[in-house]
Structure 1
Amino acid sequence: MNSAFVLLLTFATIVSGGGHETPQQVVTRYNNYKTICTGLGYQNLQCKAGNDGGIVFQSTLTKDLQNLKYQETVIYDKVTLNEGNAYNKDTGKFTATVGGVYAFSWTTLSYPGKYFITEIVHNGNAIAYSQCDGRGVTGYPSSSNQVNIKMKKGDKVWIRAMEKYGQYAYGRNWCSFSGYKF
């Protein structure tokens, strides 16, 4: 930590010309460096990080789900974070507001003797699965999975029951679905 401070202090001293320059002299020196760099082909570009305002969401399931229909969407109804407003708690679907690579994860907790098998879907196509199977066990089974998906603006991602295997998912915020844009 001390060496980093000394290095920073040394750099600041060199750039400022030893601390004996007026503010106008510092600006002149900066403009001279800028002219030299531009002449060498360097461009003054703004950082693109965060221009989309940040896209991230976190949602959970508040009520138990039982006996879902064939490929029924799991709707995580409690949203604790939704920067970019891309997750819709009424439909359970995430819609990309800008293109890019997104990371999604989801967790499931079921009941002893029950199961809840899910899949993450991108524009109607299953991408990955998560099997939460409590048959033959005495404890509460849990499962989770994570995927990265390249998306275009308007693409949709959601979690649904795999076929008709949505027997029992524990609510009370034990099951979650979240995602963010890299």
Structure 2
Amino acid sequence: MTRIYYLLMSFPLLVAVTAHATPQQVVTRYNNYKAICNGMGYENVRCKDPIAFQSSLTKTLQNLKNQETVIFDKVSLNEGSAYDNISGIFTAPLDGIFSFTWTILTTAGKYFVTEIVLNGQKVALNQTDGRGHDGYPMSTSHANIKMKKGDKVWIRTNGTSGQHAHGGWCYFSGAKL
């Protein structure tokens, strides 16, 4: 709290003394102020273009093979162009933590088990199981994944459990935190 107080109190002083200063003096004072902020642990935060995508499955998938990629082919949002709706793969355009969510809907008597993978390694599972149920069971899973630039994330079937995913009701989305 003390750091914030000193930071807030020093800013008006910086502005007040620059009213009659030369451009070089203003730059010097700004650099000093910036050095103080950095020394106190505040980082220079720049606004960046967002990285986010939203995709959905347009057709019903049935009897997928072991670890087959689920391609969410309809893209409604792709800020940063990091999601490829042909391969179904999201490629990190820069280092960071990314948040992913995927939803699968199946039908009564069927099931569909998926996993999110980072560079081919399983991170989390999603099981939608309609066996013994009426209607259309749906499940959603979420994963926050630390990625390096060029790392790849996608959704694939877990084992041979890609029996039935209902098109039009399955989604995959992600965004950089």
Task: Report deviation, 1:111.
Answer: 0.5
Q: CA RMSD in A?
A: 2.9
- Once the two structures are superposed, what CA deviation does each residue of 1:73-118 show, in whole Å capped at 9, x if it has no partner? 0000000000111000000000001011100000000011100000
Residue 8 of structure 2 is matched in structure 1 by none
When the two structures are aligned, how many residues end up with a matched partner?
A: 160
TM alignment of 1:1-182, pairs within 5 A = 26=19, 28=21, 35=29, 38=32, 41-42=35-36, 47-50=45-48, 53-172=49-168, 174-182=169-177
Q: 1:54 offset after TM fit, Å? A: 1.5
Counterpart AA for 2:45: C
Structure-2 change in CA distance of 1:112 and 1:100 (3 Å): same
Closer, same or farther in 2 for the Cα pair 1:102/1:114, shift >3 Å?
Answer: same
TM-score, with structure 2 as normaliser: 0.80
Provide structure 1 residue ranges, at least 5 long, that are not aligned to the other structure. Answer: 1-13, 18-24
- Alpha-carbon deviations, 1:137-163, whole Å to 9, x = none? 012100111001110111000000101
Larger Rg: 1
Could you give the per-residue CA deviations for residues 2-49 of structure 1, whole angstroms, max 9, x where no partner exists?
xxxxxxxxxxxx9998xxxxxxx8474996697288279426975323
Amino acid of the residue matched to residue 42 of structure 1?
I
Q: Partners of 1:175 and 1:61 in 2: how far apart?
A: 5
Identity %: 50
